[in-house]
A and B are shown apart, each in its own frame.
Chain A
Amino acid sequence: MIERIIIAGSGGQGVMLLGKVLAQTAMLEGKQVTWFPAYGPEVRGGTSHCMVIISDQEIGSPYISQADTLIILNRPSLERFKGKLKKNGILILNSSLAAIDKYAKMQVLSFPFTDIAIKIGNIKVANMAALGCFAAAKKIIKVKNILKVFKSIAPAGNLEILKINQQALEEGQKLNHG
Protein backbone atom coordinates (compact mmCIF):
# COMPACT_ATOMS: atom_id res chain seq x y z
CA MET A 1 0.00 0.00 0.00
CA ILE A 2 1.20 3.46 -0.88
CA GLU A 3 -0.96 6.58 -0.83
CA ARG A 4 0.36 9.90 -2.10
CA ILE A 5 -1.67 12.94 -1.08
CA ILE A 6 -1.20 16.57 -2.07
CA ILE A 7 -3.02 19.05 0.15
CA ALA A 8 -3.27 22.61 -1.11
CA GLY A 9 -5.08 25.83 -0.33
CA SER A 10 -4.46 29.41 0.54
CA GLY A 11 -2.00 30.34 3.28
CA GLY A 12 -4.06 30.37 6.48
CA GLN A 13 -6.54 27.65 5.56
CA GLY A 14 -4.63 25.11 7.62
CA VAL A 15 -3.30 22.86 4.88
CA MET A 16 -0.05 22.24 6.77
CA LEU A 17 -1.95 21.27 9.91
CA LEU A 18 -4.27 19.02 7.91
CA GLY A 19 -1.21 17.24 6.53
CA LYS A 20 0.45 16.97 9.93
CA VAL A 21 -2.65 15.48 11.56
CA LEU A 22 -2.88 13.01 8.70
CA ALA A 23 0.81 12.12 9.05
CA GLN A 24 0.63 11.78 12.84
CA THR A 25 -2.40 9.53 12.56
CA ALA A 26 -0.63 7.30 10.05
CA MET A 27 2.39 7.16 12.38
CA LEU A 28 0.13 6.24 15.29
CA GLU A 29 -1.19 3.36 13.20
CA GLY A 30 2.37 2.11 12.69
CA LYS A 31 2.65 3.09 9.04
CA GLN A 32 5.60 4.68 7.28
CA VAL A 33 4.92 8.31 6.52
CA THR A 34 6.53 11.48 5.17
CA TRP A 35 5.22 15.04 5.34
CA PHE A 36 6.86 17.57 3.07
CA PRO A 37 5.79 21.23 3.03
CA ALA A 38 6.16 24.09 0.62
CA TYR A 39 8.47 26.29 2.68
CA GLY A 40 8.51 29.54 0.74
CA PRO A 41 6.63 32.75 1.54
CA GLU A 42 3.18 31.05 1.51
CA VAL A 43 2.57 31.73 5.17
CA ARG A 44 1.77 35.30 4.15
CA GLY A 45 -0.92 34.33 1.66
CA GLY A 46 -0.85 32.78 -1.79
CA THR A 47 -1.02 29.09 -2.53
CA SER A 48 0.33 26.80 0.15
CA HIS A 49 0.70 23.05 -0.04
CA CYS A 50 2.15 19.97 1.58
CA MET A 51 2.74 16.44 0.40
CA VAL A 52 1.99 13.41 2.55
CA ILE A 53 2.97 9.86 1.65
CA ILE A 54 1.62 6.94 3.67
CA SER A 55 2.97 3.45 3.03
CA ASP A 56 3.60 0.11 4.66
CA GLN A 57 7.08 0.08 3.14
CA GLU A 58 10.11 2.38 3.24
CA ILE A 59 9.29 5.65 1.47
CA GLY A 60 11.75 6.93 -1.12
CA SER A 61 11.28 10.46 -2.31
CA PRO A 62 8.89 12.54 -0.20
CA TYR A 63 8.16 14.58 -3.32
CA ILE A 64 4.99 13.65 -5.23
CA SER A 65 4.87 13.97 -8.99
CA GLN A 66 1.68 11.88 -9.43
CA ALA A 67 -0.82 12.02 -6.57
CA ASP A 68 -3.38 9.35 -5.67
CA THR A 69 -5.48 11.98 -3.93
CA LEU A 70 -5.70 15.76 -4.05
CA ILE A 71 -7.29 17.72 -1.24
CA ILE A 72 -7.88 21.20 -2.65
CA LEU A 73 -9.27 24.06 -0.58
CA ASN A 74 -9.27 26.99 -3.04
CA ARG A 75 -9.36 27.79 -6.75
CA PRO A 76 -5.71 28.82 -7.41
CA SER A 77 -4.60 25.53 -5.85
CA LEU A 78 -6.93 23.61 -8.12
CA GLU A 79 -5.39 25.26 -11.17
CA ARG A 80 -1.90 24.57 -9.91
CA PHE A 81 -2.28 20.93 -8.89
CA LYS A 82 -5.05 19.32 -10.94
CA GLY A 83 -2.48 18.15 -13.49
CA LYS A 84 -0.71 16.19 -10.74
CA LEU A 85 -3.58 13.80 -10.09
CA LYS A 86 -2.99 10.32 -11.48
CA LYS A 87 -5.53 8.65 -13.77
CA ASN A 88 -8.68 7.70 -11.83
CA GLY A 89 -7.39 9.46 -8.72
CA ILE A 90 -9.63 11.20 -6.20
CA LEU A 91 -10.06 14.97 -6.06
CA ILE A 92 -11.50 16.22 -2.77
CA LEU A 93 -12.57 19.76 -3.52
CA ASN A 94 -13.80 22.63 -1.36
CA SER A 95 -16.81 23.74 -3.42
CA SER A 96 -17.24 26.85 -1.26
CA LEU A 97 -14.21 28.36 -2.98
CA ALA A 98 -13.60 26.35 -6.15
CA ALA A 99 -15.51 24.55 -8.85
CA ILE A 100 -14.54 22.15 -11.56
CA ASP A 101 -16.69 22.06 -14.73
CA LYS A 102 -15.57 19.29 -16.99
CA TYR A 103 -13.47 16.43 -15.86
CA ALA A 104 -12.60 12.96 -16.96
CA LYS A 105 -10.56 10.13 -15.51
CA MET A 106 -10.88 11.32 -11.94
CA GLN A 107 -13.32 10.87 -9.10
CA VAL A 108 -14.49 14.21 -7.73
CA LEU A 109 -15.79 14.62 -4.19
CA SER A 110 -16.91 18.22 -4.12
CA PHE A 111 -18.32 19.61 -0.83
CA PRO A 112 -18.61 23.08 0.72
CA PHE A 113 -16.09 22.59 3.54
CA THR A 114 -15.79 26.31 4.26
CA ASP A 115 -19.57 26.72 4.52
CA ILE A 116 -19.79 23.66 6.73
CA ALA A 117 -17.12 25.18 9.00
CA ILE A 118 -18.92 28.54 9.15
CA LYS A 119 -22.14 26.78 10.07
CA ILE A 120 -20.42 24.93 12.91
CA GLY A 121 -19.09 28.25 14.14
CA ASN A 122 -15.44 28.59 13.08
CA ILE A 123 -14.26 29.03 9.50
CA LYS A 124 -10.83 27.70 10.48
CA VAL A 125 -12.02 24.10 10.80
CA ALA A 126 -12.81 23.71 7.08
CA ASN A 127 -9.56 21.76 6.85
CA MET A 128 -10.78 19.16 9.34
CA ALA A 129 -14.07 18.74 7.47
CA ALA A 130 -11.97 17.95 4.40
CA LEU A 131 -9.89 15.50 6.44
CA GLY A 132 -13.06 13.77 7.62
CA CYS A 133 -14.13 13.45 4.01
CA PHE A 134 -10.74 11.95 3.11
CA ALA A 135 -10.86 9.47 6.00
CA ALA A 136 -14.31 8.24 4.99
CA ALA A 137 -13.56 8.08 1.28
CA LYS A 138 -10.16 6.38 1.47
CA LYS A 139 -10.38 4.36 4.70
CA ILE A 140 -6.60 4.36 5.07
CA ILE A 141 -6.63 5.93 8.53
CA LYS A 142 -9.18 5.55 11.29
CA VAL A 143 -11.21 8.49 12.55
CA LYS A 144 -10.82 7.38 16.18
CA ASN A 145 -7.06 7.70 15.73
CA ILE A 146 -7.42 11.18 14.24
CA LEU A 147 -9.26 12.11 17.42
CA LYS A 148 -6.38 10.75 19.49
CA VAL A 149 -4.00 12.97 17.52
CA PHE A 150 -6.28 15.98 18.10
CA LYS A 151 -6.04 15.37 21.83
CA SER A 152 -2.27 15.09 21.72
CA ILE A 153 -1.70 18.34 19.82
CA ALA A 154 -4.53 20.62 21.00
CA PRO A 155 -3.51 23.37 23.42
CA ALA A 156 -4.06 22.09 26.94
CA GLY A 157 -7.20 23.27 28.68
CA ASN A 158 -9.03 24.43 25.57
CA LEU A 159 -11.81 21.91 25.18
CA GLU A 160 -13.74 24.15 22.79
CA ILE A 161 -11.05 23.83 20.12
CA LEU A 162 -11.02 20.09 20.48
CA LYS A 163 -14.81 19.90 20.29
CA ILE A 164 -15.22 22.04 17.20
CA ASN A 165 -12.46 20.23 15.32
CA GLN A 166 -14.08 16.92 16.17
CA GLN A 167 -17.43 18.24 14.99
CA ALA A 168 -15.92 19.37 11.67
CA LEU A 169 -14.22 16.02 11.23
CA GLU A 170 -17.49 14.18 11.79
CA GLU A 171 -19.41 16.47 9.43
CA GLY A 172 -16.85 15.73 6.74
CA GLN A 173 -17.09 12.04 7.43
CA LYS A 174 -20.87 12.04 7.09
CA LEU A 175 -20.89 13.52 3.57
CA ASN A 176 -21.98 11.31 0.70
CA HIS A 177 -18.83 9.81 -0.77
CA GLY A 178 -20.52 7.92 -3.56
Chain B
Amino acid sequence: MSMSREEIYDKVSEILVEALGVDDDEISEGATLMGDLGAESIDFLDIVFQLEKSFGIKIPREELFPAENLQNNPDLVSDGKLTEVGVAQLKSSMPHVDFTEFEKDPDLNKIPDLFQVKSIINYIEGKVNS
Protein backbone atom coordinates (compact mmCIF):
# COMPACT_ATOMS: atom_id res chain seq x y z
CA MET B 1 0.00 0.00 0.00
CA SER B 2 1.51 3.31 -1.04
CA MET B 3 0.41 6.55 0.59
CA SER B 4 1.19 10.19 -0.09
CA ARG B 5 2.73 12.35 2.61
CA GLU B 6 -0.51 14.38 2.81
CA GLU B 7 -2.59 11.27 3.44
CA ILE B 8 -0.18 10.19 6.17
CA TYR B 9 -0.14 13.68 7.68
CA ASP B 10 -3.94 13.75 7.86
CA LYS B 11 -4.18 10.40 9.59
CA VAL B 12 -1.34 11.16 12.01
CA SER B 13 -2.91 14.51 12.80
CA GLU B 14 -6.24 12.81 13.54
CA ILE B 15 -4.50 10.39 15.93
CA LEU B 16 -2.67 13.19 17.76
CA VAL B 17 -5.85 15.22 18.15
CA GLU B 18 -7.50 12.19 19.71
CA ALA B 19 -4.58 11.00 21.86
CA LEU B 20 -3.40 14.37 23.15
CA GLY B 21 -6.64 16.33 23.23
CA VAL B 22 -5.21 19.13 21.08
CA ASP B 23 -6.86 21.12 18.28
CA ASP B 24 -5.83 20.22 14.76
CA ASP B 25 -4.57 23.76 14.14
CA GLU B 26 -1.95 23.21 16.88
CA ILE B 27 -0.44 20.43 14.82
CA SER B 28 2.28 21.14 12.27
CA GLU B 29 5.21 19.13 10.95
CA GLY B 30 7.60 20.99 13.22
CA ALA B 31 5.54 20.81 16.43
CA THR B 32 7.27 18.85 19.18
CA LEU B 33 5.19 16.15 20.84
CA MET B 34 6.14 16.95 24.41
CA GLY B 35 6.93 20.66 24.32
CA ASP B 36 4.29 21.93 21.91
CA LEU B 37 1.59 19.30 22.15
CA GLY B 38 1.95 18.37 25.83
CA ALA B 39 2.48 14.63 25.39
CA GLU B 40 3.45 12.59 28.48
CA SER B 41 5.21 9.26 28.47
CA ILE B 42 2.03 7.19 28.57
CA ASP B 43 0.76 9.10 25.53
CA PHE B 44 3.63 7.74 23.46
CA LEU B 45 2.36 4.20 23.93
CA ASP B 46 -1.15 5.35 23.15
CA ILE B 47 0.09 6.98 19.94
CA VAL B 48 2.00 3.82 18.97
CA PHE B 49 -1.18 1.77 19.46
CA GLN B 50 -3.23 4.15 17.34
CA LEU B 51 -0.61 4.27 14.59
CA GLU B 52 -0.45 0.49 14.42
CA LYS B 53 -4.19 0.26 14.12
CA SER B 54 -4.70 3.11 11.71
CA PHE B 55 -1.92 2.14 9.30
CA GLY B 56 -2.10 -1.62 9.79
CA ILE B 57 1.58 -1.87 10.70
CA LYS B 58 3.61 -3.31 13.54
CA ILE B 59 5.86 -0.87 15.37
CA PRO B 60 8.67 -2.46 17.40
CA ARG B 61 8.71 -0.54 20.68
CA GLU B 62 12.21 0.84 20.56
CA GLU B 63 12.10 1.84 16.92
CA LEU B 64 9.99 4.99 16.92
CA PHE B 65 11.06 6.43 20.29
CA PRO B 66 14.38 4.71 21.13
CA ALA B 67 16.09 7.44 23.15
CA GLU B 68 15.19 6.18 26.61
CA ASN B 69 17.98 3.65 27.00
CA LEU B 70 20.91 5.98 26.43
CA GLN B 71 21.09 7.88 29.64
CA ASN B 72 22.95 5.46 31.87
CA ASN B 73 25.75 4.69 29.48
CA PRO B 74 28.92 6.78 30.18
CA ASP B 75 30.22 6.21 26.64
CA LEU B 76 27.16 7.90 25.24
CA VAL B 77 26.47 10.58 27.82
CA SER B 78 28.88 12.85 29.58
CA ASP B 79 28.08 15.94 31.64
CA GLY B 80 24.42 15.91 30.71
CA LYS B 81 25.21 15.94 27.01
CA LEU B 82 25.42 13.20 24.44
CA THR B 83 28.95 12.38 23.31
CA GLU B 84 29.82 12.19 19.65
CA VAL B 85 29.35 8.44 19.81
CA GLY B 86 26.04 8.97 21.59
CA VAL B 87 24.75 11.31 18.90
CA ALA B 88 25.89 8.93 16.18
CA GLN B 89 24.13 6.02 17.84
CA LEU B 90 20.93 7.95 18.38
CA LYS B 91 20.98 9.15 14.79
CA SER B 92 21.40 5.69 13.40
CA SER B 93 18.59 4.34 15.57
CA MET B 94 16.25 7.15 14.53
CA PRO B 95 16.68 7.75 10.82
CA HIS B 96 13.23 9.37 10.74
CA VAL B 97 14.30 12.22 13.03
CA ASP B 98 15.77 15.59 12.08
CA PHE B 99 18.94 16.16 14.15
CA THR B 100 20.06 19.49 12.66
CA GLU B 101 19.23 21.63 15.68
CA PHE B 102 20.05 19.02 18.29
CA GLU B 103 23.59 18.43 17.05
CA LYS B 104 24.57 22.00 17.84
CA ASP B 105 23.95 21.36 21.54
CA PRO B 106 23.23 17.69 22.26
CA ASP B 107 21.86 18.32 25.76
CA LEU B 108 19.98 15.34 27.23
CA ASN B 109 17.14 17.63 28.25
CA LYS B 110 16.59 18.49 24.62
CA ILE B 111 15.98 14.91 23.53
CA PRO B 112 12.21 15.27 24.00
CA ASP B 113 12.28 18.07 21.41
CA LEU B 114 13.56 15.59 18.85
CA PHE B 115 10.15 14.00 18.64
CA GLN B 116 8.28 16.16 16.23
CA VAL B 117 5.16 15.47 14.26
CA LYS B 118 7.31 15.09 11.16
CA SER B 119 9.37 12.35 12.88
CA ILE B 120 6.24 10.25 13.07
CA ILE B 121 5.29 11.05 9.49
CA ASN B 122 8.80 10.18 8.25
CA TYR B 123 8.71 6.93 10.17
CA ILE B 124 5.29 5.94 8.84
CA GLU B 125 6.27 6.96 5.32
CA GLY B 126 9.25 4.62 5.54
CA LYS B 127 7.06 1.80 6.80
CA VAL B 128 4.09 1.95 4.46
CA ASN B 129 6.00 2.80 1.29
CA SER B 130 8.86 0.33 1.69
Same complex origin of A and B: no
